[in-house]
Structure 1
Amino acid sequence: MTQPILTHTYYSDFFATKGYAFLKHIAEQYPTPKKFTIFSVMHCYEGSLPYINVLAELAENLVFIPKSATATGNQSFKTTIEALPTCSVVSEAYNKQQLRDPHVAEALIREHIDADSQFLLLDHGGYFSHAIEHLCDVFREQLIGVTELTANGLYKYLNSNLNKPLVTVSHLSIKAPADYEASECIVHYSDQILREEFGLKLNNDNFLKVGVIGAGNLGRGVIQYLKGKAISNILVADIDPRKLTQFPRNGVQVSSIERLVSECNMIFCCTGNGAIPEALLDSIPDNRFIATVTSADDELKLPQLITNGALTEVGGNRLVREYQTRNGRSLYLLAGGESANTPFKTGMGDPTLYLFEAAHMLAGLQLLNQPERFKSGIQPLSDSDERAIAKQWLQHFYSYC
């Protein structure tokens, strides 16, 4: 058997090997047919290589679709993946925007399957959501089903009329630890970007007042790590007032989104879906720094804002992208408008990454091996499967017994 290509850097292989062994153990419980293709949308993170290795061993053909946020400037990562015997990386012609066209998505799939091949779509961020009804129709006998990793990706599928099963792992409790890990990274790297590009520190109250829009796992995690940096004057907003009731007793100010955008000049957007309404941008004060937990395309509806003239790009670099509002106010998107941990190596040294990867993979393997368990339309991975993953993870990494 070919030795897995786990990382770019040998000094990370010890941890990566443990992650690979965990995922491999779960995968071995399910056989796969000879003619079988997996289309996997994933970030170009070094920490994802163990997972990619396991997927490549499961399928006759693994088609890797890089997420736009981490694909640019990561050619060496894509070259590493292409070295796997059964793995191929799609061309830049098949990016998130192009795959909105059902016929482009169909063409991608036809490039990589035979007439009698079955295939799975392991989606991450709703890349196939705009084309899914068409794909379900034209590949009725070959498409096994879809799995979706994220909440904002699931949102894009909600109004689809699906005649195939879609299994979501976005709201599993075992995903929460990874969300908190992401929150820590986002706070840390936002601070680093502010220092590098503007000479500012997150915890300098004289220059920055911090607000968080969104009180889900990621928003709560961001607040936790902001408080760990001795930032006490934090505002939090959410469209659902029930989510805000937990904060006043913990010394965090609750706020409307309107007040938060008006008063805070460092804003963490943690909703995954249009955190700041377009109408507010016309009255936003000058010099707002914004970090997003997902791509600004989703978190701020950035393409729509640009099309409508609400924002105009005026400059920037890999770490900061600068925009102006209709009124000439400056708005700075940290990390170039992507999640603030995407410009940096992430996922190494943190085994929580493997929890949601295992769930994502398991959902696909069950669609393949136990189709009778699923019906057409959206459904979650079962509680019993989630508990089984958690138990195996604790045993593997923490000697749980």
Structure 2
Amino acid sequence: MSQPILTHTYYSDFFAAKGYDFLKKIADQFTVPKNLVIFSVMHCYEGSLPYINVLAEVADKLVFIPKSATALCNQDITNTIRQLPHCHVIGKDCNCGKEQLKDPATAEHLIRSHLDSDSQFLILDHGGYFAHAIEHICETFPDQCLGITELTANGLYKYLNRQLDRPLVTVSHLSIKAPADYEASECIVHYSDQILREEFGLKLNNDEFLKIGVIGAGNLGQGVIKHLKGKAISQILVADMDPRRLTHFPRNGVQVGSIERMVTECNMIFCCTGNGALPSELLDNLSDSLFIATVTSADDELKLPQLIASGTLTEVGGNRLVREYRTRNGQSLYLLAGGESANTPFKTGMGDPTLYLFEAAHMLAGLQIATRSQPFKPGIQALCEDDEKHIAEKWLRHFYRYH
């Protein structure tokens, strides 16, 4: 077997090789069915290469669907992935992005074009790409569709209330995903600061110019607040739909309030909900320009296509670091990183082994479905606690000599 392509020349391959070996050990525990096809949605980060390599070795064919934000700004990574044996990369010319896959006929065509008559397939989803079409897929391929795994909370939300006659295993709320969420929040704060400096000559910790708010107090929101405080930002306002998540902030010097108050008082907002953080009526009444950083795509975080379609926002221009929109009352809204997670324009994922925790969980859940090694039922369920402990122990042993 040829050596896997794990990095580009400007990176150390230490963590990449270690990550590949770790994921390979997880995969080698399973004997998958012949002619297995895996449809995998994942970012085009260099740090994703070990995971994609292992999936390509496990499956008879890996159909890789890159998330558009990182595919567009990391074209060299996309080209590298195309070189992997057994890996077929879906490009933008195939008209099979997130919006297109909402159409059941498009999703069916994509799947059918990669199957043989005796193939079975798994969907390893990331962000609910297949959620709108999943009922049609299960009905169309009753003997070939084995099941689905979903990596993120906002993706899982899209699968809720779907009638599933296949197992859907979520890894979005596992405790072992928390370290990667905190790492992501550090990157988002760091690169938001970098974008503000580069494009506007502003610094996050200049209280005279920027008043900062955070919408969403889950793992990512809490991580963003932690790293904002690490930059000596003293005035932070946090909001969440669930008041229980806000109860511990006042004792730690963080103000709590409503989203309405935040839009009135803050001009830099981190949106950390994954699903429609800012209602259109609040944007209609902005009294000043607003900077926004999101932890996931603005399509999900802000429902951006709907805001544009309704006339709430009109795109003015920008570049890959900032996109400017105008509200109905003439205020400017600046989306850092073009409305994607603020670390997507940069090289991320290397030198941090926490990403292999959630990748291992995502892959393990899929392999359990494929081999029927766990008694999964139709419908949504989480990876079991024992499997989560198993991954955590192997990861600690592999990277940190845990005994």
Q: What residue in structure 2 maps to residue 185 of structure 1?
A: 187
Q: What residue in structure 2 maps to residue 102 of structure 1?
A: 104
**1:11 & 1:264 partners in 2: Cα distance?**
39
Contact 2:33-2:370 at 8 Å conserved across structures = no
Q: What residue in structure 2 maps to residue 6 of structure 1?
A: 6
State the one-letter code of the partner of 1:43: H
SS of residue matched to 1:72: helix
Deviations 1:87-112 (A, max 9, x none): 01013111001000000000001111
Following TM superposition, by how much is the alpha carbon of 1:11 offset from its aligned partner in structure 2, in angstroms?
A: 3.5
Contact 2:275-2:303 at 8 Å conserved across structures = yes
Q: What residue in structure 2 maps to residue 215 of structure 1?
A: 217
SS of residue matched to 2:292: strand
Following TM superposition, by how much is the alpha carbon of 1:15 offset from its aligned partner in structure 2, in angstroms?
A: 1.4
Q: What residue in structure 2 maps to residue 268 of structure 1?
A: 270
Q: What residue in structure 2 maps to residue 150 of structure 1?
A: 152
TM-score for both structures, normalised by structure 2: 0.98
Q: What residue in structure 2 maps to residue 167 of structure 1?
A: 169
Q: What residue in structure 2 maps to residue 54 of structure 1?
A: 54
State the one-letter code of the partner of 2:353: P
Q: What residue in structure 2 maps to residue 39 of structure 1?
A: 39
State the one-letter code of the partner of 1:377: G
SS of residue matched to 2:132: coil
Deviations 1:35-79 (A, max 9, x none): 111000010000000000100000010000010111113222111
State the one-letter code of the partner of 1:338: E
**1:56 & 1:119 partners in 2: Cα distance?**
13
**1:302 & 1:246 partners in 2: Cα distance?**
31
Q: What residue in structure 2 maps to residue 322 of structure 1?
A: 324
SS of residue matched to 1:219: helix
Q: What residue in structure 2 maps to residue 130 of structure 1?
A: 132
**1:12 & 1:261 partners in 2: Cα distance?**
43
State the one-letter code of the partner of 2:20: Y
Choose 362-371 or 50-59, whichever is displaced more. Answer: 362-371
SS of residue matched to 2:131: coil
Is 2:13 the counterpart of 1:25?
no
**1:298 & 1:195 partners in 2: Cα distance?**
26
**1:231 & 1:27 partners in 2: Cα distance?**
44
Deviations 1:166-210 (A, max 9, x none): 000000000000000000000000000000000000000110011
Q: How does 1:290-309 map to 2 (within 5 A)?
A: 290-309=292-311
**1:278 & 1:11 partners in 2: Cα distance?**
43
Q: What residue in structure 2 maps to residue 241 of structure 1?
A: 243
Following TM superposition, by how much is the alpha carbon of 1:212 offset from its aligned partner in structure 2, in angstroms?
A: 0.3
Following TM superposition, by how much is the alpha carbon of 1:301 offset from its aligned partner in structure 2, in angstroms?
A: 0.4
State the one-letter code of the partner of 1:77: I
**2:173 & 2:9 partners in 1: Cα distance?**
33
Contact 2:368-2:374 at 8 Å conserved across structures = no
SS of residue matched to 1:358: helix
State the one-letter code of the partner of 1:236: V
SS of residue matched to 1:112: coil
Q: What residue in structure 1 maps to residue 199 of structure 2?
A: 197
Identity %: 76
State the one-letter code of the partner of 2:66: P
SS of residue matched to 2:113: helix
**1:188 & 1:9 partners in 2: Cα distance?**
25
Q: What residue in structure 2 maps to residue 360 of structure 1?
A: 362
Following TM superposition, by how much is the alpha carbon of 1:371 offset from its aligned partner in structure 2, in angstroms?
A: 5.8
Across the two proteins, how many residue pairs are aligned to each other?
401
Deviations 1:320-373 (A, max 9, x none): 000011101110000000000000011100000000000000000000112651
**2:302 & 2:344 partners in 1: Cα distance?**
17
Following TM superposition, by how much is the alpha carbon of 1:10 offset from its aligned partner in structure 2, in angstroms?
A: 5.7
Aligned partner of 2:337 among 335, 343, 346: 335
Following TM superposition, by how much is the alpha carbon of 1:120 offset from its aligned partner in structure 2, in angstroms?
A: 0.3
Choose 57-66 or 372-381, whichever is displaced more. Answer: 372-381
Contact 2:73-2:345 at 8 Å conserved across structures = no
Aligned partner of 1:311 among 310, 313, 323: 313
Aligned partner of 2:257 among 255, 258, 266: 255
Choose 324-333 or 72-81, whichever is displaced more. Answer: 72-81
**1:73 & 1:265 partners in 2: Cα distance?**
27
**1:285 & 1:389 partners in 2: Cα distance?**
49
Q: What residue in structure 2 maps to residue 285 of structure 1?
A: 287
**2:320 & 2:208 partners in 1: Cα distance?**
27
Following TM superposition, by how much is the alpha carbon of 1:32 offset from its aligned partner in structure 2, in angstroms?
A: 1.4
SS of residue matched to 1:170: coil
Choose 30-39 or 214-223, whichever is displaced more. Answer: 30-39
CA root-mean-square deviation = 0.8
**1:386 & 1:145 partners in 2: Cα distance?**
19
Is 2:76 the counterpart of 1:76?
yes
